[in-house]
């Protein structure tokens, strides 16, 4: 072994020691769940949303076809929620098929559903041929498929990133999907559930068109769960596609007791020596956080799951760098500050966006009701609407947060490194 290797091995071991010093095996926090491969982790950490889960299960347990819309802001936990729903159905209902896919910006709802479903049916030769014609990777290479029994291969994930060539187009997507659903239902007699995540990654006009084009499909022989965030779709959907959904569920910020529980679950999921008295389903152990620090951490994350994960990662990393064995208020403060800085860097704000961020923290709030002409002028804008995309970018970076006040839209700065006294209870 060379000296250079030794150095990296040493760093590797040190990194492990840093985490272990905190009593943990690994970092539990992640930005977003990684599709259906993440079911195990998610099951251990998923917290709250009990009423929402109940409502969805009530709709889906009978095996009737349903259309469900899950909406909420970026990072509110839509993907996690849907994955948790699918994993539970898969466990509880024999002979049900659940598939999950994120909506590819270049694709449409029907084609995305078709691909996800076809990839979940590796034994269906017709489905595999269609995939192949679309230029997408099949469960196994086409040539081999015809000669080998195809039952042994498991095929996971329905991401378009798995394509091997530029995708072609389905000739009659709606009919092809209908046919595929019918084929799937012969094997999966309890029904087929298709979840399409991230409708919001499209512009609102396109989402409306996609929804319109998919109406027939959505009323077909499968259940659908769609997700998106309100700016991208709600205005349009509520007006033009009213009645299309059997259930519309909004994922709001979690309350503080639930957020505290969530923290305990995340930490317990990676704890080296779990406290034997701790209920794994409903743990209360928040070590290595001190009780004070845990409480302030939860306030800082405001019940927003993605922010919670971002802040958690930053705080633990800070603790590791400092060789800490516990996270007290002092260390928490440092970790939150580090996160604020890294989120600013990550966001790669332009000059204009930075000036808007400064203005937002000076004013405290900005809304379409109380925006000043002079503020707009200094930034070079004519109306609040023109500011919206920039404010949303700040929101996306967790540098601003949006409040819905009836018809008014209001943003406030999201500074997690404020003095703690300024956090609301």
Based on its alpha-carbon atoms, the radius of gyration of the chain, rounded to whole angstroms, reads 24
Closest listed residue to residue 177, CA positions, set 281, 261, 99: 99
Within 10 Å of residue 224's Cβ, how many Cβ atoms?
24
Minimum CB–partner distance for residue 145 and Mg ion (Å): 33
Site for ligand ADP in 290-309 (CB under 6 A): 305-306, 309
CA–CA separation, 126 and 87 (whole Å): 27
Binding pattern for the stretch 228-267 against ligand ADP, x by CB under 6 A and - elsewhere: ----------------------------------x-----
| Rounded-to-5 percentages of helix, strand, coil across the chain | 55, 10, 35
Closest listed residue to residue 199, CA positions, set 257, 157, 241: 241
β-pair type (366-367, 408-413): antiparallel
Minimum CB–partner distance for residue 310 and ligand ADP (Å): 9
- What DSSP character marks residue 115? H
Smaller CB separation from ligand ADP, 46 or 114 = 46
Q: Is 77 in the site for ligand ADP (CB under 6 A)?
A: yes
Q: Which of ligand ADP, Mg ion, none has residue 167 at its interface (CB below 5 to 8 Å by kind)?
A: none
Contact region with Mg ion (CB under 5 A), list: 71-79, 218-226, 287-295, 342-350:
71-79
Smaller CB separation from Mg ion, 47 or 79 = 79
Q: Which of ligand ADP, Mg ion, none has residue 319 at its interface (CB below 5 to 8 Å by kind)?
A: none
The one among 65, 66, 78, 402 contacting ligand ADP by CB under 6 A: 78
Q: Which two tokens stand for residue 107?
A: 């694709």
The vertex-203 CA angle with 201 and 208, nearest 5°, equals: 105
Smaller CB separation from ligand ADP, 35 or 63 = 35
The one among 22, 39, 60, 75 contacting ligand ADP by CB under 6 A: 75
Smaller CB separation from Mg ion, 124 or 200 = 200
Q: Is 401 in the site for ligand ADP (CB under 6 A)?
A: no
* Number of residues assigned to the chain: 425
Q: Is 72 in the site for ligand ADP (CB under 6 A)?
A: yes
Sequential DSSP letters for 200-248: GGS-HHHHHHHHHHHHHHHTSSSEEEEEE-HHHHHHHHHHHSTTS-SEE
Q: Which of Mg ion, ligand ADP, none has residue 191 at its interface (CB below 5 to 8 Å by kind)?
A: none
The one among 19, 46, 71, 416 contacting ligand ADP by CB under 6 A: 46
Helix axes 173-187, 125-133, angle to 10 degrees: 150
Q: Which residue is nearest to ligand ADP (CB)?
A: 77
Site for Mg ion in 76-105 (CB under 5 A): 79
Smaller CB separation from Mg ion, 79 or 84 = 79
User: Could you give the maximum distance between any two Cα atoms of the chain, in Å?
Assistant: 73
Sequential DSSP letters for 167-183: ----SSHHHHHHHHHHH
Q: Which of ligand ADP, Mg ion, none has residue 72 at its interface (CB below 5 to 8 Å by kind)?
A: ligand ADP
Residues that bind ligand ADP (CB under 6 A): 30-33, 42, 45-49, 72, 74-80, 262, 305-306, 309
Residues that bind Mg ion (CB under 5 A): 79
């Amino acid at each position: 072994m060379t000296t250079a290797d030794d150095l990296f091995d040493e760093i590797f071991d040190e990194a492990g020691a840093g985490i272990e010093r905190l009593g943990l095996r690994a970092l539990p926090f992640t930005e977003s769940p990684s599709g259906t491969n993440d079911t195990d982790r998610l099951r251990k950490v998923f917290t709250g949303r009990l009423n929402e889960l109940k409502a969805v299960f009530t709709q889906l347990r009978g095996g009737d076809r349903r259309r469900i819309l899950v909406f909420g802001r970026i990072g509110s936990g839509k993907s996690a929620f849907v994955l948790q729903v699918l994993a539970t159905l898969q466990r509880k209902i024999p002979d049900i098929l659940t598939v999950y896919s994120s909506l590819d910006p270049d694709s449409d709802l029907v084609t995305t559903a078709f691909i996800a479903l076809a990839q979940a049916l590796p034994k269906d030769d017709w489905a595999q041929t269609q995939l192949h014609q679309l230029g997408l990777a099949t469960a196994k290479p086409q040539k081999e498929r015809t000669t080998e029994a195809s039952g042994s291969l498991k095929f996971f994930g329905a991401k378009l990133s798995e394509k091997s060539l530029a995708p072609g187009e389905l000739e009659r997507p709606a009919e092809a999907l209908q046919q595929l659903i019918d084929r799937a239902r012969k094997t999966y007699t309890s029904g087929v559930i298709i979840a399409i995540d991230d409708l919001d990654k499209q512009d609102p006009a396109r989402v409306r068109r996609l929804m319109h084009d998919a109406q027939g499909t959505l009323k077909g022989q499968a259940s659908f769960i769609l997700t998106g965030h309100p700016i991208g779709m709600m205005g349009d959907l509520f007006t033009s596609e009213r009645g299309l959904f059997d259930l519309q569920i909004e994922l709001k910020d979690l309350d503080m007791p639930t957020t505290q529980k969530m923290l305990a679950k995340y930490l317990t999921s990676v704890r080296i020596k779990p406290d034997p008295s701790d209920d794994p389903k409903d743990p209360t152990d928040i070590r290595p956080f001190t009780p004070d620090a845990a409480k302030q951490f939860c306030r800082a994350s405001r019940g927003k799951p993605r922010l919670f994960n971002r802040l958690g990662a930053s705080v633990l990393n800070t603790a590791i760098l400092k060789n800490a064995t516990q996270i007290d208020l002092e260390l928490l403060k440092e970790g939150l500050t580090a996160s604020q800085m890294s989120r600013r860097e990550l966001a790669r704000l332009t000059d204009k966006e930075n000036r808007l961020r400064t203005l937002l923290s000076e004013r405290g709030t900005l809304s379409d009701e109380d925006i000043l002409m002079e503020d707009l002028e200094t930034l070079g804008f004519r109306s609040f609407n023109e500011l919206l995309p920039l404010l949303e970018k700040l929101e996306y970076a967790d540098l601003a947060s949006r409040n819905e006040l009836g018809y008014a839209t209001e943003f406030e700065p999201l500074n997690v490194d404020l003095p703690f006294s300024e956090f609301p209870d």
